Amino acid sequence: MLKFANHSLDALIARAYPSFVIITLFLIALPCCKPKEQTETSVEQTDSVAKQPQEANKLPKTSSFFVQYNGASNDEIKRILETFSPLTEIQSLASRAIRIKDSIYSKNTGSEKATLPAKDSVLFNQQENKAYKAIVAYQQMMLRGPSIKDACPSLMQLTRNAAPGDSSVGFLPQAGRSQFFAHGNFFFLGGAPFIGKLQPTEDATFTDPDGKPETRFVTDLTENGNYFLNSIYHFKNLPSEITFGPPLNSYSGWSREIRGIGSLIHRFINRVPVYFLTEQGVVSASLSSVTIKLVPEDLGCVSDQPIIEFACSKSIEAKEILGVYIPYTSSDPTTFTVTRNDNRVWTADLNGDGIDDLACVSGSYEGIGDIIAESLWFVNIDGQWKIIDSGQNLDCT
């Protein structure tokens, strides 16, 4: 569970390593660091056979270790989907400059407060200047809206298979012949417990571009977050304001930054409509920003994935958001009718035809010092359940 109380997004980023990821988002306290491997509509109930879990698949009394998944296959589709080409040069230049800085401080001083030899300072400054110029050029380009020529695969083109020993799919009901997700023209992010509610500082409130109050949420732990920036900018031209997050931290003790810049915050001038999928129905929301670190912090207890921020005019809690759906050229969801089994398996119908289109299986395992939550989300493609996203708490020590 990320606990965001009394911190704005900028404050969260400013406290970017242990502070930023005070991850109490999961209804599980995480003291300890290394990953394991609306329009609101009424909720309709149906008696569809597809909503009755198979008798043979009753859940065990403990949820330990029945989700086994190691991510999408590392093939060309994944590489293309997770690579946002306008950022490639910036990240390469920033990484090179910061590696030089790490090497210089480690060799000469062990502290960035000490005065560096002149020749080392010149070397680092040359590389830092190149990276900074690339950042400024990117900032100007994104304000106009990037013109991206390369193709971008859909989520459905990823190869995603459960690992040996996984039994999660066995807990799903028999799938009817659904076509809701078959077109692939959408983006999906898994929700609770891997999404957190932001709290504004002091007595302030978050407001939308028209000055109306809104609630904001962030997520940075599900697999699809790695593919989000590239996919959303291929969806359509999206002019964005690029602001800068403060320096990042590292185990070495000195900061990771380019002239004080640790991350790039993409705020969309025209917000992208999205849908929160909740047990109370479909809730209209919007995508407000995506934050990308220039380089990974590699701190274990801090996620290095993009920080995706959403906004909603309706006052809801993070635990109510079971998924985030973004239609590209496809139909909007009309209902979200949820059936649960023991709170670890749920299925949902998104178009009111009595056939489940989406499902989630949640489990847990014993980490280094904690019980770690994990989930797999599935979509029904013509009668077969296919993995569409995964989430897992950071295992920290």
The predicted-structure confidence for 153-211, as pLDDT tens digits, reads as follows 999 999 999 988 888 888 899 999 999 999 899 999 999 999 999 988 877 889 999 99
- β-pairing, 337-341 vs 323-327, is unpaired
Q: Is the pLDDT score of 271 beyond 90?
A: yes
How far, in whole angstroms, is CA 139 from its chain's centroid? Answer: 22
Give me the pLDDT at residue 110, please.
56
| Cα pseudo-dihedral 223, 229, 230, 234, rounded to 10 | 130
What is the rounded average pLDDT of the residues 295-309?
91
Using the CB atoms, write b or e for 116-153: b if 16+ within 10 Å.
beeebeebbeebbebbbebbeebbeebeeebeeeeebb
Give me the pLDDT at residue 40, please.
31
- Cα dihedral sign for 79, 157, 218, 142? positive
User: Taking the chain, what is the end-to-end CA distance rounded to the nearest angstrom?
Assistant: 16
Give me the pLDDT at residue 112, please.
54
Give me the pLDDT at residue 115, please.
61
Give me the pLDDT at residue 298, please.
82
- Cα separation, 73 vs 61, whole angstroms: 32
Percent of the chain with pLDDT over 70: 80
Q: What is the mean pLDDT of the chain?
A: 82
Q: Is the pLDDT score of 39 beyond 50?
A: no
- The phi, psi pair for 152, rounded to 5°, reads -130, 120
- Cα separation, 320 vs 316, whole angstroms: 7
Give me the pLDDT at residue 62, please.
42
What is the rounded average pLDDT of the residues 267-287?
96
Give me the pLDDT at residue 332, please.
87
10 Å CB burial of residue 105 (0-12, 13-18, 19+) is buried
What is the rounded average pLDDT of the residues 379-384?
96
| Cα pseudo-dihedral 316, 322, 327, 332, rounded to 10 | -70
CB of 227 closer than 8 Å to CB of 83: no
Residue of 163, 162, 71, 63 lying closest to 365 (CA atoms): 63
- Cα separation, 36 vs 24, whole angstroms: 18
Give me the pLDDT at residue 106, please.
75
Using the CB atoms, write b or e for 161-188: b if 16+ within 10 Å.
ebeeebebbebbbebbebebbbeeebbb
Q: Is the pLDDT score of 130 beyond 80?
A: yes
Confidence of residue 121 (pLDDT cuts 50, 70, 90): confident
10 Å CB burial of residue 56 (0-12, 13-18, 19+) is exposed
10 Å CB burial of residue 157 (0-12, 13-18, 19+) is middle
